[in-house]
Amino acid sequence: MTQPIPSFSYHLPTAIEFGHGALARLPALARGLGGQRALIVGDPGVERAGLVGRIADVLSQTEMPIAIFTDVESDPDIRSVEQGTAIAKAERCDFVIGIGGGSALDTAKAIGLMLTNAGTIRDYVGINKVPQPGAPVVAIPTTAGTGSEMTIWSVLSDKAQQVKISVGSTYNCPRVALLDPGLTLSLPPHTTAATGMDALTHALESYVNRATQPISEAMSVQAMTLIARSLRVAVAQGDNLQARADMLLASTIAAMAFNSTRLGLVHAFAMPLGAKFHIPHGLVNAILLPAVMRYNLPGNLPKYAHIAEIFGERVENRSLRAAAERSVEAIEQLKQDIGITAKLSAFGLSEDRFDEVVDEALQSGNVPVNPRQPTREAMKAILRAELE
């Protein structure tokens, strides 16, 4: 039987600059983008680590005037975008450099959008609602997980409403992702573990979902291969540059996979659980991934069997179903090896809140592409399995 010819769109507007010491390329990149004044966006941790100062030093060769905004909170509120945009406008910045984890990069990207688009970032919630390209953004990740440096998405919090909002637009892709694995060397083990599991969840959810296509599949396989090889080492030996390079590359490649496919049920849950219970994004994904995999297995046995192989499980002489089940065991073992033991109840989730979590998760655009259409009861069972 012949397979249908795939039909899809794949668009990638972000240039990648990768290498140990790649930060030194920033002045040439800044000149190439034609910016006159840069706003550097980071979070207080990045500033304390001296990275904002390093960017300012590196940029001083260009004599480009800079402004600095480092009040980005974790799970940034819309207010962070408004504050940063106000500074950029007051200083007449026409170019944004984001440095940090997903929160800093998502905020930097949204500020870039708001420098050329009217109204507030709330006007652009959803997908492809932004009318104009934003100001150019160079994204410099210091964690290996969110992939924000490559994606169309900015995830922000509306803390007053206790919800997360997502702005997705091809105009929200950074112009350049500047990837220097040396910048991730000081990440502590628990952050390395949680962000690495976020990258894995991106690659895996994109790979098994119903919207995937051959380009994203290839990216997912490569990202999972790198993660299988190097996440344990990056957690166990934070100063191992090879493992850090693998993880940074994996995070970016996973984002290149999911940018055009969306994700799945883990990320659908991550939005309400992050907004209402403040569970760090990577950690909530890590908690839920094996339970969601176990539920999703029947939707795509061959892909789950392949994931088992990527993670070094022996699958020969097993039935397809048994091989697929090995993928769940492999990820559970990985979690154990990198020290992730948290459960949802530790963050205040209890059974009486399941309905509101499920209601909100079901609104996610990640649900229709999930390999198995979930029932409310199945979703509650997944939460219950990881409650305590």
Spatial neighbors of 236 by CB under 8 A, at least 6 apart, are 189
Q: What x/- string results for residues 316 through 345 when contact with Fe ion is judged by CB under 5 A?
A: ------------------------------
Looking at beta carbons only, is 26 or 254 nearer to Fe ion? 254
Q: What x/- string results for residues 185 through 204 when contact with Fe ion is judged by CB under 5 A?
A: -------------x------
CB-based closest residue to Fe ion: 198
Sign of the torsion formed by the C-alpha atoms of 222, 196, 238 and 314: negative
Q: Least distance from C-beta 198 to Fe ion, angstroms?
A: 4
Identify any residues that bridge with 83 across adjacent strands, giving them in sequence order. Answer: none
Looking at beta carbons only, is 94 or 198 nearer to Fe ion? 198
Spatial neighbors of 30 by CB under 8 A, at least 6 apart, are 38, 59, 62, 64, 95, 97, 138
Looking at beta carbons only, is 32 or 368 nearer to Fe ion? 368
Instruction: Residue 203: name the closest of 139, 150, 261 by CA.
Output: 261
Looking at beta carbons only, is 181 or 282 nearer to Fe ion? 282
The interface with Fe ion within residues 288-317 (CB under 5 A) comprises none
User: Strand pairing of 163-168 and 153-158?
Assistant: antiparallel
Q: Least distance from C-beta 381 to Fe ion, angstroms?
A: 23
User: Strand pairing of 137-141 and 163-168?
Assistant: unpaired
Residue 26: its H or E element:
helix 26-33
Under the binding rule (CB under 5 A), the answer on residue 75 touching Fe ion is no
DSSP 3-state assignment of 223?
helix
Q: Least distance from C-beta 315 to Fe ion, angstroms?
A: 27
C-alpha angle 242/243/244, rounded to 5°? Answer: 90
Looking at beta carbons only, is 14 or 70 nearer to Fe ion? 14
Q: What is the C-alpha separation between 240 and 259, in angstroms, rounded?
A: 29
Q: What x/- string results for residues 20 through 39 when contact with Fe ion is judged by CB under 5 A?
A: --------------------
Looking at beta carbons only, is 70 or 201 nearer to Fe ion? 201
Q: Least distance from C-beta 267 to Fe ion, angstroms?
A: 6
Q: Least distance from C-beta 280 to Fe ion, angstroms?
A: 11
Q: Least distance from C-beta 271 to Fe ion, angstroms?
A: 10
Q: What is the C-alpha separation between 10 and 150, in angstroms, rounded?
A: 13
Q: What are the helix (H) ranges across 125-260?
A: 189-208, 214-236, 241-258
Q: Least distance from C-beta 321 to Fe ion, angstroms?
A: 28
Q: Least distance from C-beta 190 to Fe ion, angstroms?
A: 17
Looking at beta carbons only, is 269 or 304 nearer to Fe ion? 269
Looking at beta carbons only, is 278 or 318 nearer to Fe ion? 278
Q: What is the C-alpha separation between 328 and 332, in angstroms, rounded?
A: 6
Spatial neighbors of 370 by CB under 8 A, at least 6 apart, are 205, 209, 210, 264, 265, 268, 296, 299
Side chain identity at residue 274, one-letter code: G
Q: Least distance from C-beta 284 to Fe ion, angstroms?
A: 9
Q: What is the DSSP letter of 262?
A: -
Looking at beta carbons only, is 124 or 153 nearer to Fe ion? 153
Number of residues that bind Fe ion (CB under 5 A): 1
C-alpha angle 41/42/45, rounded to 5°? Answer: 165
Q: Footprint of Fe ion on this chain (CB under 5 A)?
A: 198
